[in-house]
Amino acid sequence: MQILDGIKLAKEIKQEIKELVQNYKDQGVRVPHLGAILVGSNGASQTYVDNKIKDCHFVGIESSELRLPDTISQEDLIAEIEKWNNDETLDGFIVQLPLPKHIDQEAVINAIDPKKDVDGFHPMNFGKMALEMETFLPATPFGIMEMLERYNIDTTGKHTVVIGRSRIVGRPMSILMSKNGNPGNSTVTLAHSKTQNLEQFTKEADIVITALGVPGFLKADMIKDGAVIIDVGITRVDDETNPRGFKLAGDVDFDNVKEKASWITPVPGGVGPMTRAMLLKNTLLAYNNKK
Ligand code: GUN
């Protein structure tokens, strides 16, 4: 078993971006600028947004953060989005999900200018991705593709099982793994909560990508020897021995599955850091498209 080390890779990618941004500074041109909107006070979402801003500081990208109360109306949130759509100094921005229940997520995503949608969630960008046109790729699937590429993992002709069909991870992941090119060229099964006999698929899979949010779900007897295992799950589980009061748990029963896998991502330290690095890449793309 070998570890797919997301911390090490993300560090390399961030270093590359830092050097690119330094070049802009040396040339005396403005640097890229990323914005993040956070609605409410969900603990995990706050941490994600804090980390996105920290990453901007590290690589020298300018950042703006807008924190809004969870009582904000959909109309007022969309009015804030419109302001950022029209802000010439801002290259791209994200609206952290999930949103409070009274807000229609679809309406909010549709309100973001596709040129600034560095999450790649807008239907126009999602469609471009599906058609293999250049666009912003959702950061988590993008990070997994980058990881497979940089570790030279051959996905061509392989059977990939993706578990979970969310718009953020599972569905785009299934599209990217079947695209023309390596990574890609996979025969993809997209499994979800209504899939029957899931094990029948995972036992045959060369690559399993789990994005369910159910700690320890994927067990060793569900995979074949030598499979590549990518764990997107990152659930907060109560842990009194931890100063934060919780630990992060993946969807994979890591200690047992690692004995059978050829490659495996740890949680934490696998997919998560790659997701963060890819948002910076998308911000650079938005900046260069604008130029
Ligand atoms: N919530 C969980 N993952 C993401 C992400 O990649 N982008 C946004 N905007 N919200 C998220």
CA 54 to chain centre: 17
Cα(97) to ligand 1 centroid in Å equals 5
Q: From residue 268, how far is each of 72, 158, 219, 274 by CA, in Å?
A: 33, 26, 18, 11
What is the number of the ligand 1 atom nearest to the C-alpha of 140?
Answer: 6
What is the number of the ligand 1 atom nearest to the C-alpha of 45?
Answer: 1
Return the pLDDT at 66: 98
Start-to-end CA span in the chain (Å):
44
User: Is 171 annotated as ligand-binding?
Assistant: no
CATH architecture group of domain 139-272? 3-Layer(aba) Sandwich (3.40)
Q: Which residues contact 99 (CB under 8 A, 6 or more apart)?
A: 39, 40, 77, 105, 108
Return the pLDDT at 70: 97
Q: Return mean pLDDT, the chain.
A: 98
User: Is 166 annotated as ligand-binding?
Assistant: yes
Is the confidence at residue 252, as pLDDT, over 90? yes
Average of pLDDT values for 3-30? 98
Around ligand 1, the residues with Cβ closer than 6 Å are 94-97, 119, 139-140, 168
Q: From residue 117, how far is each of 7, 77, 138, 141, 144 by CA, in Å?
A: 25, 16, 10, 16, 20
User: Is 234 annotated as ligand-binding?
Assistant: yes
Average of pLDDT values for 201-228? 98
Is the confidence at residue 291, as pLDDT, over 90? no
Q: Which residues contact 187 (CB under 8 A, 6 or more apart)?
A: 157, 158, 159, 160, 178
What are the pLDDT digits (tens) for 168-177?
999 999 999 9
Average of pLDDT values for 49-63? 98
Average of pLDDT values for 110-118? 98
Q: Could you give the CA distance from residue 263 to residue 141 in angstroms, rounded to a whole number?
A: 17
| Residue closest by Cα to atom 9 of ligand 1 | 96
Domains 28-115 and 139-272 share a fold: yes
Instruction: Look at the domain 28-115 and name its fold.
Output: Rossmann fold (3.40.50)
**164 and 212 in contact (C-beta within 8 Å)?**
yes
User: Is 193 annotated as ligand-binding?
Assistant: no
| Residue closest by Cα to atom 11 of ligand 1 | 97
Is the confidence at residue 211, as pLDDT, over 90? yes
What are the pLDDT digits (tens) for 133-150?
999 999 999 999 999 999
Cα(206) to ligand 1 centroid in Å equals 28
- The domain spans of the chain are 28-115, 139-272
Average of pLDDT values for 92-116? 98
Return the pLDDT at 223: 98
What is the number of the ligand 1 atom nearest to the C-alpha of 119?
Answer: 7
Cα(259) to ligand 1 centroid in Å equals 31
Cα(51) to ligand 1 centroid in Å equals 12
Neighbours of 241 (CB within 10 A): 6
Active-site positions read: 52, 96, 119
Cα(53) to ligand 1 centroid in Å equals 14
Return the pLDDT at 164: 98
What is the number of the ligand 1 atom nearest to the C-alpha of 139?
Answer: 6
Is the confidence at residue 43, as pLDDT, over 90? yes
Neighbours of 34 (CB within 10 A): 27
Q: Could you give the CA distance from residue 77 to residue 84 in angstroms, rounded to a whole number?
A: 11
Q: Could you give the CA distance from residue 243 to residue 262 in angstroms, rounded to a whole number?
A: 33
Percent of the chain with pLDDT strictly greater than 70: 100
Q: Which amino acid is at 174?
A: S
**60 and 31 in contact (C-beta within 8 Å)?**
yes
Is the confidence at residue 191, as pLDDT, over 90? yes
